[in-house]
Amino acid sequence: MIYEDRYPIGQQNFKILREEDAYYVDKTAFIEKMIRSKSKYYFLARPRRFGKSLFLSTLEYFFRGERNLFNGLHVDTIDWDWAEYPVLRLDLNTDRFAEPGILDGVLDNIFRKWEKEYEVDNIVEPLSTRFHNIIESAHRKSGKQVVILVDEYDKPLVGNLNKEENFEHYRAKLASIYSNFKSSAEHIKLVFLTGVSRFSKLSVFSDLNNLNDISFDNDYADICGITEKELIDNFKGGIQSLAEEMELSYEDAKLRLKRNYDGYRFAPKGSDIYNPWSVLNCLSKKMIANYWSMTGGASVVAECLHNIDADLEEFFNKQCDLQSLVGLDLKNADPLALLYQTGYLTIKDYDNLTNTVTLGIPNNEVKNDLSRVLLPLYVKIKRGSVEGKIRDLIASMNMGKPDRFMKTLEAFFAGISYEMKMDSENNFQNAVYVILSLIGANAKVEDRTSDGRIDLTIETFRFIYIIELKFDGTARQALDQIKEKNYSRKFQTDHRRIFKIGASFSSKTRTIEDFLIEEDNHE
């Protein structure tokens, strides 16, 4: 029997998780790898909701020597003295840091507890000096070097990417705190930092020349998240319950999980990774839904994409140098790096000859989340009518009703604000791409053929739609181009019904003004 309350949704405390007999995917082999290494300083970047905090908590109780919590796990079998080390865990994931003074208050509260615990006599400002004194006193009192764990070290920076003054304030403050990792090196056993990005011009990266950034390391690719093997080994019963609830076969349930929550890859030779937050929610609730989107975070990314006027479909299938994904610079923020580090793009392929990666959207869940946030940037309609129009598009597309499909698509553009960018074919195609992505359509923009590029193709189980969109042209011109260039030739051996649609879009009225439809007879 599967007990849903064993799914530790939102539980980031390793001790509570183990004491309550919750499901736990054993990641402790990575602890052995770390303690056998000569590295002393580690940094790991992963998107939100991937288990970074839980791994830090696992490290915390390991170094506190609480061996009973690790019974049955890999690290319980290794040669280790299980001595108790002083552990300083700095959690910056507790506030939004909307104002410059918030960080000082957070650090002051944390430092006061440590100063009391480790009997720091001379409490003086600034905060960086207090941190140094705490590290030194903890070492002196315990006789053991200190383990420092920093959870979401960059939270104040990520929350202020679009507020340069706040960003610079927090950058300087954090730089002074993290500078202790170098100046207090003799008192330190291990430092492990997690975050979303490796921000350039921050002392922790410029001063520590021996920092081991394992974010792209093949040996640590699976340190967070769930692999295919781990999913089957740990959650086979949960998958079976999901299958029964959804009236699917076990294999079909696995496929649905894979399409919606798998597809992340964090190293050149790493395996595909499932989002643990989404998997646990799905298995607990026995429902395929968009769980990651509920945690927020897409708005900054969407605004960035809209501002650079990118060709969205091309941008979401992009090649780049691996090194360009490593860090972020506020003044020269690379949209690709931002998308990768926040989890909206991931590694899909790697070319070791050129050291380049091909990036893509991980899965349907992320695609839907991003599309929903992008949609109002390209098309403004009444919020309450969105869901109904989406249902109409899906139904008409799957039922082979092109006239109804085009009329519904037309309705999306009928209420476009004149503040919207809709003065170029690229923006119009982006809007269509976002809409079709939102409904989960198997669509291609600028679909290449031997005779040219089809503006848009949509494929369903029974139907194929070939659509030519004339920007400030006529529907007749668009339909004639489909026929003259014989765009349907690539589907001539396909058994599905083919609809050819020519449509016109006016930059003046900012609507789809007309469309013509013909069915291809496969001659």
What pLDDT band is residue 3 in, cutting at 50, 70 and 90? very low
Asked whether residue 179 carries a pLDDT value surpassing 70, the answer given is: yes
Amino acid symbol at 73 = L
Percent over 70 (pLDDT), the chain:
85
Tokens of 251: 């294999």
Asked whether residue 163 carries a pLDDT value surpassing 90, the answer given is: no
What number is the average pLDDT over the span 434-444?
Answer: 72
What pLDDT band is residue 221 in, cutting at 50, 70 and 90? very high
Please tell me which residue, 307 or 265, carries the higher pLDDT value: 265
Nearest to 254 by CA among 222, 282, 281: 282
Amino acid symbol at 251 = E
* Residue burial 41-69, b: 16+ Cβ < 10 Å; e: rest: bbbbbbbbbbbbbbbbbbbbbbbbeeeeb
What pLDDT band is residue 452 in, cutting at 50, 70 and 90? low
What pLDDT band is residue 508 in, cutting at 50, 70 and 90? confident
In the chain, count of helices (H) and strands (E)? 20, 15
Asked whether residue 311 carries a pLDDT value surpassing 70, the answer given is: no
Least confident of 119-133, 137-151, 185-199, 444-458: 444-458
Note the pLDDT of residue 232: 96
Do 26-220 and 379-520 agree at the fold level?
no
Name the one residue in this structure whose structure tokens are 């003044």.
331
> For 393-412, what is each residue's pLDDT tens digit?
888 988 999 999 998 888 77
Contacts of 271 (CB under 8 A, 6+ apart): 221, 222, 227, 228, 265
> For 377-390, what is each residue's pLDDT tens digit?
666 555 455 667 77
Cβ atoms of 438 and 302 within 8 Å: the answer is: no
Least confident of 87-91, 143-147, 366-370: 366-370
What pLDDT band is residue 418 in, cutting at 50, 70 and 90? very low
What number is the average pLDDT over the span 59-88?
Answer: 97
Give the sign of the dihedral formed by CA 312, CA 316, CA 321, CA 325.
positive
What number is the average pLDDT over the span 122-143?
Answer: 92
Asked whether residue 302 carries a pLDDT value surpassing 80, the answer given is: no
| C-alpha span between 448 and 477 (Å, rounded) | 19
In sequence order, the β-bridge partners of residue 163 are none
Cβ atoms of 192 and 42 within 8 Å: the answer is: yes
Note the pLDDT of residue 469: 85
Q: Give 274's DSSP letter.
A: B
For residue 469, give Cα distances in angstroms to 8, 175, 394, 425, 473: 49, 52, 20, 9, 8
Please tell me which residue, 209 or 37, carries the higher pLDDT value: 37
Note the pLDDT of residue 297: 57
What number is the average pLDDT over the span 52-75?
Answer: 97
| C-alpha span between 157 and 167 (Å, rounded) | 6
Note the pLDDT of residue 2: 44
Cβ atoms of 35 and 184 within 8 Å: the answer is: no
For residue 494, give Cα distances in angstroms to 343, 446, 457, 520, 521: 36, 20, 14, 11, 11
Angle in degrees, CA 452, 457, 462, rounded to 5: 135
Please tell me which residue, 399 or 448, carries the higher pLDDT value: 399
Contacts of 424 (CB under 8 A, 6+ apart): 471, 507
| 3-state SS, residue 146 | strand
| 3-state SS, residue 296 | coil
Note the pLDDT of residue 192: 97
Note the pLDDT of residue 22: 94
Note the pLDDT of residue 113: 95
What number is the average pLDDT over the span 506-521?
Answer: 85
Tokens of 443: 């669509």
Does the structural domain 379-520 have CATH classification 3.40.1350? yes
The edge-to-edge listing of strands for the beta sheet with 356-360 is 317-321, 356-360, 346-351
What pLDDT band is residue 352 in, cutting at 50, 70 and 90? confident
What pLDDT band is residue 1 in, cutting at 50, 70 and 90? very low
SS3 of 50-95: the string is: CCHHHHHHHHHHHHCCCHHHHCCCHHHHCCCCCCCCCEEEEECCCC
Asked whether residue 451 carries a pLDDT value surpassing 60, the answer given is: yes
Note the pLDDT of residue 97: 87
Annotation: CATH topology of 26-220: Rossmann fold (3.40.50)
Rg (CA), the chain: 27
Note the pLDDT of residue 460: 87
Asked whether residue 420 carries a pLDDT value surpassing 60, the answer given is: no
Note the pLDDT of residue 410: 82
The edge-to-edge listing of strands for the beta sheet with 497-506 is 442-449, 452-459, 463-471, 497-506, 511-520
Note the pLDDT of residue 357: 93
Amino acid symbol at 262 = D
Mean pLDDT across the chain: 85
Domain residue extents for the chain: 26-220, 228-292, 296-364, 379-520
Please tell me which residue, 429 or 20, carries the higher pLDDT value: 20
Note the pLDDT of residue 417: 45
In sequence order, the β-bridge partners of residue 91 are 151
